[in-house]
Amino acid sequence: MSDKRPTEAEQAVALADSLAEGRLDRRSFVRGALALGLGLPSIAAVLQACSGEAPEAAKAPEGAAATAPVPAGPPDLGPMEKELKICNWSDYIAEDTIANFEKETGVKVTYDTFESNEELIGKLQAGATGYDLVCPSGYAVQVLLALKLLEPLNPKYLPNQGNIATQFRKTAFDPTDAHTVPWQWGITGIAYRADKVKAPPDSWAVFHDPQYKGKLTMMDDMRDVIGAWLKFRGKSLNSTVAEDLAAAKADSLTAKALLQSFVSAPVKGQLVAGDVWIAQLWNGDTIQAKAENDKIEWVLPKEGGAIWCDSMVMPKGAPNKRAAHAFLDYILRPEVGAAISNFTGYGSPNSAATAKMEKPVAYPTDEQMKLLEFQADLAGASGDWDQVWTEVKAG
Ligand code: SPD
């Protein structure tokens, strides 16, 4: 007989299983869940998921046949698999997050990284990645959903889902919370070496300033670069208007003549070393660099920039779905979520985790939000953007 005692998360899943399979009534479930320390929002989420009741919007109209079939939810998952394969952005997880999960569950995790949403979408479109969890930004979730490349999640296995902050529920990219568990949110702005620049930059125009030729970088990321030049001209960073894109292309090419390179997360080392003085960069990665060199600062340009939320999703055909859910519920624990954001420097979409963070990143106020815009799916215009980016890279 094994002497391994079930963890609280496993007990919570077993409790939810018993409720779903009718071996436990709702009152006993609530009593057991409270004894395990589950929060009321998590308990309510499981009760709703197990109620068999269709959501308000999906309910049959008055007078419809009482026997109309209720749409089936995601299927129950089998036993926990022994492996899990994750693909995430680089520098985006605490050092012990994976090791602690492996120790607790016995699941062996393979962890790969990617550097842009377009790289991730390309991998998934090519098929057969074997990934169980990947972490696209909101607009890329919309792209993957449109391509039918995602599996729905089963809330029955996510009792900690109730810890997610309200801003990150029922989002534009996942209106029913059926496919995503939000991971981190952040903002694209400008990192700079305060000891090297003449004056702190406050505009995307700094990437057109010849005095910094060779000391500048912008990200190797179509949405961030073209989006920045759209904001610079007072346009939406999701614009699909031909003239706006033509202007953004011209601005990108003017900048390119002064840039050392297009580079994303790896620029941190160059900023620390002083080879790069001014870099388009995400706020959290800048905080990671600042930990190594306190002369590094970050600013949101006066013209504004992108705010985004990256979420864990399960690609179509994920081979280890039960282990994927176990990992998602694990990262939704307050202390695990807090440790991840303490390392990454980004905001946590988990309010219980934010409450435990050393230096929580505050969500922008309504006033600050006026400068920020969420990136959205470009749908039919993505080919036009690809064309602009290809010409910028080749130009
Ligand atoms: N090092 C992790 C950075 C994650 C950035 N993701 C969002 C990009 C939005 N364009």
Could you tell me if 246 and 148 lie in one domain?
Answer: no
Q: Same domain for 116 and 168? A: yes
Residue tagged 């190797």 (tokens): 220
Name the closest-CA residue to atom 3, ligand 1: 89
Query: Are 269 and 214 in the same domain?
Result: yes
Residue of 86, 89, 187 with the most ligand 1 atoms within 8 Å of its CB, for mutation: 89
Residue nearest to atom 10 of ligand 1 (CA): 224
Taking the C-alpha atoms of residue 24 and residue 47, their distance in angstroms, rounded to an integer, is 12
Q: Is residue 16 part of a domain?
A: no
How many A from CA of 4 to the centre of ligand 1? Answer: 38
Name residues contacting ligand 1 (CB within 6 A): 89-92, 137, 221, 223-224, 265, 282, 285, 308, 310
Paired with 221 in beta bridges are: none
Q: Determine which residue's CA is closest to atom 7 belonging to ligand 1.
A: 137
Q: pLDDT value at position 68?
A: 56
Choose the residue to mutate in 88, 92, 225, 375 for probing ligand 1, maximizing ligand atoms within 8 Å of C-beta.
92
Distance 336 CA to ligand 1 centre (A): 20
Residue 67: the pLDDT is 55
The alpha carbon of 39 is separated from its chain's Cα centroid by a whole number of angstroms, namely: 24
362 C-alpha to ligand 1 centroid (Å): 18
Mutation to probe ligand 1, out of 86, 88, 137 (largest number of atoms < 8 A from CB)? 137
Supply 207's token pair.
Answer: 């990437």
pLDDT at 395: 86
Q: Which two tokens stand for residue 167?
A: 């801003």
CA 77 – ligand 1 centroid, Å: 31
Q: Return the HEC string of 133-198.
A: EECCEHHHHHHHHHCCCEECCCHHHCHHHHHECHHHCCECCECCCCCCEEEEEEEEEEEEECCCCC
pLDDT score of 222? 95
Domain assignment present for residue 40? The answer is no
- Probe residue for ligand 1, chosen from 281, 310, 341, 385 as the CB with the greatest number of ligand atoms within 8 Å: 310
Domain that holds residue 389: 187-307+369-394
Q: How far is the CA of 170 from the centre of ligand 1 (A)?
A: 21
- Tell whether 44 is covered by a domain: no
Query: What spacing in Å lies between the alpha carbon of 116 and ligand 1's midpoint?
Result: 7
Q: Which atom of ligand 1 is nearest to the CA of 91?
A: 1
The DSSP letter of residue 350 is B
pLDDT at 47: 52
Q: Is 362 exposed, middle or buried (CB count within 10 Å of its CB: 0-12, 13-18, 19+)?
A: exposed
In this structure, the chain runs to a length of 395
**Looking at residue 40, what is its pLDDT?**
47
265, 381: one domain:
yes
One domain for residues 287 and 390:
yes
Ligand 1 atom nearest residue 223's Cα = 10
- Counted domains in the chain: 2
- Both 245 and 386 in one domain: the answer is yes
* CA separation for the pair 340, 240 (Å, rounded): 35
- Closest by alpha carbon to 181, among 171, 191, 189, 190? 171
> Is residue 33 helix, strand or coil?
helix
How many C-beta atoms lie closer than 10 Å to residue 98's C-beta? 18
Q: Are residues 251 and 386 in the same domain?
A: yes
Q: Residue 292: enclosing H or E segment and its boundaries? A: none
117 C-alpha to center of ligand 1: Å?
8
Any domain includes 26: no
Assess whether 244 and 262 both reside in one domain: yes
Task: List, in order, residues 6 or more apart from 315 with CB less than 8 Å away.
Answer: 124, 129, 131, 132, 133, 134, 144, 149, 150, 151
Q: pLDDT at position 358, please?
A: 86
- Indicate if 271 and 383 belong to the same structural domain: yes
pLDDT at res. 5: 37
Per-residue pLDDT of the chain (395 residues; tens, 9 = 90+): 233 334 444 444 454 544 554 444 455 444 444 444 454 445 454 454 444 333 333 333 343 344 556 666 778 999 999 999 999 999 999 999 999 999 999 999 999 999 999 999 999 999 978 999 999 999 999 999 999 999 999 999 999 999 999 999 999 999 999 999 999 999 999 999 999 999 999 999 999 999 999 999 999 999 999 999 999 999 999 999 999 999 999 999 999 999 999 999 999 999 999 999 999 999 999 999 999 999 999 999 999 999 999 999 999 999 999 999 999 999 999 999 999 999 999 999 999 999 999 899 999 999 999 999 999 999 899 999 999 999 999 98
- Model pLDDT, residue 73: 73
Is 243 part of any domain? yes
Cβ–Cβ under 8 Å, residues 212 and 280: no
Q: 191 CA to middle of ligand 1, Å?
A: 14
CA distance 152 to 166: 20
What is the bridge-based pairing of β-strands 150-151 and 314-315?
antiparallel
Let me know whether 196 and 283 are in one domain. Answer: yes
> Is residue 10 assigned to a domain?
no
Q: How far is the CA of 209 from the centre of ligand 1 (A)?
A: 26
Element (H, E) at 389: helix 382-394
Nearest-angstrom CA–CA distance, 46 and 30: 10
> How many whole angstroms separate alpha carbon 209 and alpha carbon 228?
16
Among 87, 263, 282, 348, say which to mutate for ligand 1: greatest number of ligand atoms within 8 Å of CB. Answer: 282
Q: Please check whether residue 247 lies inside any domain of the structure.
A: yes
> Are residues 144 and 280 both part of a single domain?
no
The string of DSSP codes covering 253-270 is HHHHTTEEEE-STTHHHH
Atom 4 of ligand 1: nearest residue by CA position: 89
On whether residue 300 sits in a domain, the answer given is yes
The CATH number that applies at residue 301 is: 3.40.190.10
Atom of ligand 1 nearest to the CA of 116: 8
165 with 219, same domain? no
CA of 2 to the centre of ligand 1 (A): 42
